Amino acid sequence: MKRNKKANVVWQIILFICTVGFAVTAAYFYGKTVYDMVKIGIWVSILSGTAVFAMSLGRVQNTYLFDNEENPQRFSVLYLLFLAGSVLFPLLPVSGWPYLAVFAGLLLFSNSMIAVCSGSALLLISVLLTESKSPEDFLVYFIAGIIGVFLFSCIDEKFHVGIPLFISAMMQFLCLCVREVLLVNEKLQWEMFLIPFSNILICLILLLIILKVFSHLIIYRNQDLYMDINDPECPLIIELKNFSKDEYYHAVHTAYLCDRIAKRLYLDEDATKAAGYYHKIGMIKGVNDWNNVGEILEENNFPEKVCEILKEYLDGKEAIVSKETVVLLFADTIISSICYLFAKDNKAKIDYDKLIPAIFKKKEESGILKHSNITLRELEEMKKILLEEKLYYDFLR
């Protein structure tokens, strides 16, 4: 963790120096006066400094999307490419700058605040290097960029990008058309839509390239990893089996219920299922506490989402907040309760219609769910799903 923190700080310093250096150097080659160069340097320093602060804040608050905090080079490489573009964009017509791709691309490898701050710094460089230096030019792309950031921030492991692509492209096209009609030409001619339309095509091409890289580095990499760790024959699970067959089968049954519930509630079923499999994995180190579980997860490069669920569940200092952790809580409790009753009497006839509601009532009254994001409707649906699994519980005998 210390090495990752140091790498983040180093990258932040490099990006800040490169941003200010590129901006001032570009201003010199664009023939700006010394006064303009100093002004550009000051303004860019303020915005890029804000972006650096946003990076540090995101690391402290753990708000980076996916596992980007552990891989700062992804954002840094993309940012440097866009930085080079920002000093070249003034050579194009203002309506041809592909800043939608810049803002959305930066978001995918950081978080919303970082994307807005860093994208604004790059946009400011392009605006200050143009001859007009119109504040409306900054405003048009800033509004379109923020819309893109908000829309693409909803992307999850399912990788549904169609709606964000379409809406963000249409909003940038609208903003550019408003600029052309109201601020530049002040009259309607079909030729004025040519550059905005070309802009959207270029943005879509760039975004598709960025999304392809993003899916390769993050989405599909995690899916392949989940396929490995959610296999009951995974070496780590087999290690638990060798330690205790009872705990192994408990984990397998818990994972089954987690998967069933998460799918019906439209939660992250891969992460929830993995949490079901590995919530007992600390036992291979002697004690099943968060310290041992967290160490094993880190050694095996588990997805961040799984680590968050298990930390909430196993660390007594953490309140249960996420819905996936609530699913794990009830799946584990149901399996434990039924196994306990069968251990006392293997031929016992359990009244699940009484047992499962009683477990829900006890958990709700204990206050363990008071900080969670789960809704009453979702709790009722969860209870319904668990009651539907009566035949499956016979496998626990």
What's the longest Cα–Cα distance across the chain? Answer: 90
Q: Does any domain span residue 353?
A: yes
Summarised one tens digit per residue, pLDDT across range 293-348 is 999 999 998 988 899 999 999 998 888 999 999 999 999 999 999 999 999 988 88
With a cut of 60, say whether residue 188 has pLDDT above it.
no
Q: What is the per-residue burial (b if ≥16 Cβ within 10 Å, else e) of 154-170?
A: ebebeeebeebbeebbe
Amino acid sitting at position 9:
V
Q: pTM to 2 decimals?
A: 0.71
Q: Does any domain span residue 277?
A: yes
Question: Does 327 lie in the same domain as 387?
Answer: yes
With a cut of 80, say whether residue 276 has pLDDT above it.
yes
Counted domains in the chain: 2
User: Considering the chain, what is the average pLDDT of its residues?
Assistant: 90
Name the DSSP class of 322: S
Question: Does 259 lie in the same domain as 218?
Answer: no
Which residues are within 8 A (CB) of 341 and not within 5 positions of it... i.e. 6 or more apart?
348, 350
Cα separation, 124 vs 316, in Å, equals 47
What pLDDT is attached to residue 4? Answer: 61
Question: Does 207 lie in the same domain as 134?
Answer: yes
- Residue 371 maps to which CATH number? 1.10.3210
Question: Does 177 lie in the same domain as 134?
Answer: yes
Q: How confident is the model at residue 216 (pLDDT cuts 50, 70, 90)?
A: confident
Question: Does 213 lie in the same domain as 82?
Answer: yes
Q: How confident is the model at residue 2 (pLDDT cuts 50, 70, 90)?
A: very low
What pLDDT is attached to residue 132? Answer: 73
Helix axes 99-108, 135-152, angle to 10 degrees: 40
Higher-confidence position of 157 and 36: 36
Question: Does 332 lie in the same domain as 290?
Answer: yes
Between the CA of residue 332 and those of 38, 43, 262, 335, 338, what are the distances in Å? Answer: 62, 55, 14, 5, 10
**Which of the listed residues 223, 250, 275 is the one where a domain comes to its end?**
223
Structure tokens at 237: 């699970």
Question: Does 158 lie in the same domain as 305?
Answer: no
Q: Does any domain span residue 352?
A: yes
Question: Does 347 lie in the same domain as 303?
Answer: yes
What pLDDT is attached to residue 162? Answer: 87
Name the DSSP class of 244: -
Question: Does 106 lie in the same domain as 39?
Answer: yes
Q: Does any domain span residue 190?
A: yes
Q: Would you say 145 and 117 are in contact if contact means Cβ atoms under 8 Å apart? A: no
Cα separation, 219 vs 161, in Å, equals 12
Summarised one tens digit per residue, pLDDT across range 114-156 is 999 999 999 999 999 998 767 888 999 999 999 999 999 888 7
With a cut of 70, say whether residue 217 has pLDDT above it.
yes
Provide the terminal-to-terminal Cα distance of the chain, rounded to the nearest Å.
44
What pLDDT is attached to residue 1? Answer: 44
Question: Does 210 lie in the same domain as 63?
Answer: yes
Question: Does 242 lie in the same domain as 217?
Answer: no
Q: Give me the count of residues in the chain.
A: 397
**Any idea which of 54-68, 153-167, 219-233 has the lowest mean pLDDT?**
153-167
Cα separation, 145 vs 233, in Å, equals 46
Q: Does any domain span residue 160?
A: yes
**Which of the listed residues 223, 255, 273 is the one where a domain comes to its end?**
223
What pLDDT is attached to residue 293? Answer: 95
**Which of the listed residues 156, 191, 223 is the one where a domain comes to its end?**
223
Q: Does any domain span residue 389?
A: yes
What pLDDT is attached to residue 154? Answer: 82
Cα separation, 85 vs 210, in Å, equals 15
Q: How confident is the model at residue 183 (pLDDT cuts 50, 70, 90)?
A: low
Q: Which domain holds residue 338?
A: 233-396
What pLDDT is attached to residue 251? Answer: 96
Q: How confident is the model at residue 238 (pLDDT cuts 50, 70, 90)?
A: very high
Q: Does any domain span residue 351?
A: yes
Q: Does any domain span residue 228?
A: no
3-state class percentages of the chain: helix first, strand second, coil last, to nearest 5: 80, 0, 20
Question: Does 239 lie in the same domain as 127?
Answer: no
What pLDDT is attached to residue 191? Answer: 66
In the chain, at which residue ranges do the beta strands (DSSP E only) sit? none
Stretch 75-90: mean pLDDT: 96
